[in-house]
Structure 1
Amino acid sequence: MAAPYTLRWGILATGWIAEVFTKDLLADPALRGVHDVRHEVVAAASSSSKDRAADFLAKVKAPSTAKAYGSYHELVADPDVDIIYVATPHSHHFQNAMLALEAGKHVLCEKALTVTAAQARKLIETARAKGLFFMEAVWTRYFPLSIQVRNLIKSGAIGTVYRTTADLSLGNDAGDGKVKFDDAHRMVNPALAGGALLDLGIYSLTWVFQTLYHLQPEGEKESPITIAAVTKYHTGADEATSIIVNFPRHKSQGIATTSLRVSTDPDGQNTAGPAIRIQGSEGEIQVMGPAYSPLQYRVIRRDSPGKVEVVDCPIPKDPITGWGQGMFWEADECARCLRDGRKESETLPWEESVVIMEVMEQALRQGGVEYPELITTDVYDPQSPLNTGKR
């Protein structure tokens, strides 16, 4: 058997999502049945201090050889790093990802990819011009469950899919018109591109797009008509957004909803029913939430009244540490793409990331949500405070 392809990672930022992803990178691939690729964490950077990066590496139990940097510029200059994982808030993604691409590094950038569609297009243009791999880190698309659902749709198991509804909402109503986040928190802070849509609603849109737009035949892709209803929080960010996307040529529609005040799953037991309903002419696929990390789907067929096919898709856990969140599957995709010389993933092509960003941008515009120029500009500045951490 050939030795597995090894991808060497640099982690840009040291927050919670970086911790989850890095711990998944360090999980034994064999535990998820993967033997053709593997991952190494060779460096991490904090924009505030080298000590913070060192503490992060110790916390995730990275190899002792992993290097700690006190700046993003040092990280992207490291010759031992193949690919940069951008784990900063979405407000920072454009500048941080451009920094990495301009340094000649491949990039996996957290979702939402950017704040504007123009920024997304600029990143893709840069990756294409430099011959670099670039991917938005929508981890849910790479779950075996998602792959099975897409394959069921392609096989015609529920006929022609005409409608998908999807919700990801968190019940954080605090009364008195407020939610349970401080105004400076990234979830509601416009300076960090806060709001329900870019953080949570993108998962609702992920299900709408991977079951409708993504499966439209090549050459027949149809950008949707977008209609949105937005409730603004007192900070100016959106606290609730509902989007209808209409694909008139394909006679299909998607409804994506998100809220900070009500919950998709109030009791945490899925008693409220599926978070996602994929409705076809001959049946329905129901995906139990949460939309970002689903573990079960159900198939209801018109020709089998009263019968429900239930399929469980657990995430493999390390038997010693109990760890395993499902982010390793998107990392495996990055490794296979680079091994095979592909610059983008077929599961989430560049143009699809742009179309989704266009939908979110239109929705926020319809709702009157505006973000500061510092985080909406599509002019790259290597010395931007978003890259240096300086204010």
Structure 2
Amino acid sequence: MSNPSSTNSYTVKWGIISTGLIAESFVKDIQLNPAERGTTDIAHKITAVASRSLDKAQSFIEQHIVDKDTVTPYGTYQDLFDDPNVQCVYIGTPHPQHYENVKDALNAGKNVLCEKPFTISAKQATELFALAKQKELFVMEAVWTRFQPIVEPAQKVVFGGEIGEIKRIDSRFDKDFGDLPHEHRLLNPSLAGGALFDLGPYSFLWPTLFLFQHPKNGRTPPTDISPSIIFDPRTGVDGITSYIMKYEKLGAQATVSCSISTPTAPNSIVVTGTLGTLTLHGISCYPNSFTIHLFATDHSPEKSTTRNYPITSGRGMHWQADAVGRCLRDGKLEEEKMKWEETEMQQKVFDEVRIGGGWNWSLTE
């Protein structure tokens, strides 16, 4: 379906660099009719696609873009960055390329939405945000889960005290990818393969949403990071990574883990309070419901209530694109739901996890 725009909507002109699976999902979602998700103020138009070869860019356009005749293919990323008809660049390249890709796009005067992880170190992230501020350009890490309809209602339960004072959160994202070839990006050290960079941003997300953003926490970063890493024997990337974090102001703890060799659990995020629990159901990057379970007391029996928030239009990546559009329309450099501060905090934690867990940093830097 095409993406019609009304006379009152603001249209974002997108350039897409990379032609992999995540880019396919993104372009599919932003081409859906915005009205199907209740969006009337923002529309999206893809104006250019770039790959390492012109043929791949052209093939991507033919296979995945509806209004293909209005899209320009490029065989280099720089050619796309230089295209005056591109307003915002979506970056879905391999992890270690993000830093250079974002830097080149900003230096060409383009706004940027870059896939997670934004960079492979906190130092790189800090440098890119400083550059964006200097050039007065929008940039955001693409953690699409933050913009899904389930997030705000779940936060309201936790922040409002419905399950009492928060004491801990268990947040996991596990997936068994099976017998991958050693050159696959998930097993390739030179592509920053492994669990932490690929799945880790999602398992880190939920402690951020429920504990870091908790009003009583005052946006205080976690401390006392205690990691444990099991390295995959095939190529040495991190296969299972876990760590504990403390949120001192809340008196709360987060246990976070991710794995590329463990089957996905149905209830991977559990928030525990003094009065009960909140459990999110479904895969960590797009849960579709949550259950509030209140413990029994002297005055009332235990009680469970489930609330559903299904994603009925696409995969759910369009909400973050809509948020980008509103920021561009309103002249904002960062989005309130995905602030630069939180991306930098994540990368600092990941730095500590890698160093403390014995990761050979020379593999990815």
TM-score by length of 2: 0.93
Write the distance in 2 (CA, Å) between the matches of 1:306 and 1:248: 29
- The match for 1:310 is 306
Write the letter of the residue equivalent to 2:346: I
- The match for 2:252 is 252
The answer as to whether partners of 2:354 and 2:361 remain within 8 angstroms in 1 is no
Write the letter of the residue equivalent to 1:211: F
Write the letter of the residue equivalent to 1:239: G
Superposition pairs for residues 319-358 of structure 1, below 5 Å? Answer: 324-358=314-348
In 2 relative to 1, CA 305–141 (structure 1 residues): closer, same or farther, beyond 3 Å?
farther
Write the distance in 2 (CA, Å) between the matches of 1:335 and 1:92: 24
| Displacement after TM superposition at 1:181 (Å) | 1.5
Write the distance in 2 (CA, Å) between the matches of 1:40 and 1:2: 14
Any idea what SS the aligned residue of 1:228 has? Answer: strand
- The match for 1:206 is 205
Comparing both chains, which one has the higher relative contact order based on Cα–Cα distances under 8 Å and sequence gaps of 6 or more?
A: 1
Extract structure 1 runs of 4+ deviating beyond 3 A.
216-220, 302-306
Write the letter of the residue equivalent to 1:287: L
- The match for 1:180 is 179
Unmatched segments (≥5 aa) in structure 1: 173-178, 318-323, 377-391
| Displacement after TM superposition at 1:371 (Å) | 4.3
Write the distance in 1 (CA, Å) between the matches of 2:308 and 2:16: 32
Deviations 1:302-344 (CA, angstroms, capped at 9, x unpaired):
4663321111111123xxxxxx100001101101111122111
- The match for 2:280 is 287
Any idea what SS the aligned residue of 1:212 has? Answer: helix
In 2 relative to 1, CA 39–357 (structure 1 residues): closer, same or farther, beyond 3 Å?
same
Equivalent position to 2:136, from 131, 134, 144 = 131
| Displacement after TM superposition at 1:217 (Å) | 5.4
The answer as to whether partners of 1:232 and 1:367 remain within 8 angstroms in 2 is no
Q: Is the counterpart of residue 27 in structure 1 residue 32 in structure 2?
A: yes
In 2 relative to 1, CA 366–98 (structure 1 residues): closer, same or farther, beyond 3 Å?
same
Unmatched segments (≥5 aa) in structure 2: 1-5
Write the letter of the residue equivalent to 2:303: K
The answer as to whether partners of 2:243 and 2:353 remain within 8 angstroms in 1 is yes
Any idea what SS the aligned residue of 1:55 has? Answer: helix
| Displacement after TM superposition at 1:215 (Å) | 2.4
Any idea what SS the aligned residue of 1:314 has? Answer: coil
Write the distance in 2 (CA, Å) between the matches of 1:219 and 1:129: 27
Write the letter of the residue equivalent to 1:306: E
- The match for 1:176 is none
Larger mean CA deviation between 79-88 and 153-162 belongs to 153-162
Deviations 1:324-369 (CA, angstroms, capped at 9, x unpaired):
1000011011011111221111112101111111111111111222
Write the distance in 2 (CA, Å) between the matches of 1:2 and 1:25: 18
Q: Is the counterpart of residue 50 in structure 1 residue 54 in structure 2?
A: yes
Write the letter of the residue equivalent to 2:197: L
Write the letter of the residue equivalent to 2:208: F
Superposition pairs for residues 273-284 of structure 1, below 5 Å? Answer: 274-284=267-277
Q: Is the counterpart of residue 91 in structure 1 residue 96 in structure 2?
A: yes
Write the distance in 2 (CA, Å) between the matches of 1:57 and 1:244: 44
| Displacement after TM superposition at 1:210 (Å) | 1.1
- The match for 1:362 is 352
- The match for 1:10 is 15
Write the distance in 2 (CA, Å) between the matches of 1:34 and 1:188: 39
TM-score by length of 1: 0.87
Write the letter of the residue equivalent to 2:239: E
Any idea what SS the aligned residue of 1:344 has? Answer: coil
Superposition pairs for residues 193-232 of structure 1, below 5 Å? Answer: 193-216=192-215, 220-232=219-231
Write the distance in 2 (CA, Å) between the matches of 1:116 and 1:28: 37
| Displacement after TM superposition at 1:220 (Å) | 4.9
Any idea what SS the aligned residue of 1:231 has? Answer: strand
| Displacement after TM superposition at 1:372 (Å) | 4.2
In 2 relative to 1, CA 10–229 (structure 1 residues): closer, same or farther, beyond 3 Å?
same
Larger mean CA deviation between 219-228 and 195-204 belongs to 219-228
| Displacement after TM superposition at 1:133 (Å) | 0.7
Any idea what SS the aligned residue of 1:209 has? Answer: helix
- The match for 2:3 is none
Larger mean CA deviation between 284-293 and 146-155 belongs to 146-155
| Displacement after TM superposition at 1:54 (Å) | 1.0
- The match for 1:192 is 191
Write the distance in 2 (CA, Å) between the matches of 1:218 and 1:152: 16
Number of corresponding residues? 355
The answer as to whether partners of 2:211 and 2:217 remain within 8 angstroms in 1 is no
Any idea what SS the aligned residue of 2:86 has? Answer: coil
- The match for 1:110 is 115
Percent identity of equivalent pairs: 36
